[in-house]
Amino acid sequence: MLHGSSLVTRDLDVCTVLSADTVARLRDALRDLRPTHRLTPQRLSFLATPEPGVGMNNLYLETDLGPVDFLGSINGIGDFERVRAAAMEIELFGRRCRVISLQDLIQAKEALGRDKDILAAKELRAIAEKQQ
Amino acid sequence: MSLIELSLSYSYDKRAEQHQAALELERIGRELRGEAEPTD
């Protein structure tokens, strides 16, 4: 969307290193949004699971504002350091934030390979061509 | 002007706002049709 795609996405994907410290900080940041583990049948609360001091590879949460995924790596691209190395920094609503690069996003969509991802990758390629 | 050109002419803030508006329209449409919310 930030790269100019007309396609709608319904979740937020964040690439990060989910160390125990990061998990604790995320818990504090998301506390008011009632985060639960989206893929557990019992919808376990993220505020209670995992126990403090435990890191994770991936987190798939549902919150009052919608789904948000925290991923240790992106399929087809690599880990957080690799994604960050090519990320672009933009200002969004007065804050600086890093966004996956357009080329990496195309690669990630193609790696996923579902029909909707292939369609998105085609549009993103057209955007990349427009920007050249 | 194509959709892509139009979108690229917007600021990042505006792109995010447009996306939010599209999601809201989609949600209202689903409500009217009595459909469940998609998962992705």
Size of interface A-B (CB pairs under 8 A): 43
Contacts of B38 in chain A (CB under 8 A): 10
Distance CA B11, CA A49 (A): 38
Q: Which residue in chain B has the smallest CA separation from A127? A: B4
Residues 6+ apart with CB under 8 A from B17: none
User: B10 to chain A, minimum CA–CA distance in Å?
Assistant: 8
ipTM (interface pTM): 0.76
Residue B7 has a pLDDT of 87
Distances (CA, A) of B33 to A3, A8, A27, B40: 31, 19, 36, 18
For A28-74, write each residue's pLDDT tens digit. Answer: 999 999 999 999 999 999 999 999 898 999 999 999 999 999 999 99
Written as six digits, the tokens of A72 are 């240790």
Please state the length of chain A: 132
- The mean per-residue pLDDT over the stretch A20-29 comes to 96
First to last CA, chain A: 18
**Residue B39: predicted pLDDT:** 60
Rounded CA separation A124/A9 (Å): 14
pTM of the predicted model over 0.90:
no
Q: Which residue has the higher pLDDT, B7 or A59?
A: A59
Which of A1, A13, A89, A129 to mutate: most B Cβ within 10 Å? A1
Nearest CA in chain A to B26: A8
Are B19 and A91 in contact (CB < 8 Å)? no
Window 1-40 of B: residues touching A by CB (8 A cutoff) are 3-5, 7-8, 10, 12-13, 15-16, 19, 22-23, 26, 38-40
pLDDT digits (tens, 9 = 90+) for A73-98: 999 999 999 999 999 999 999 999 99
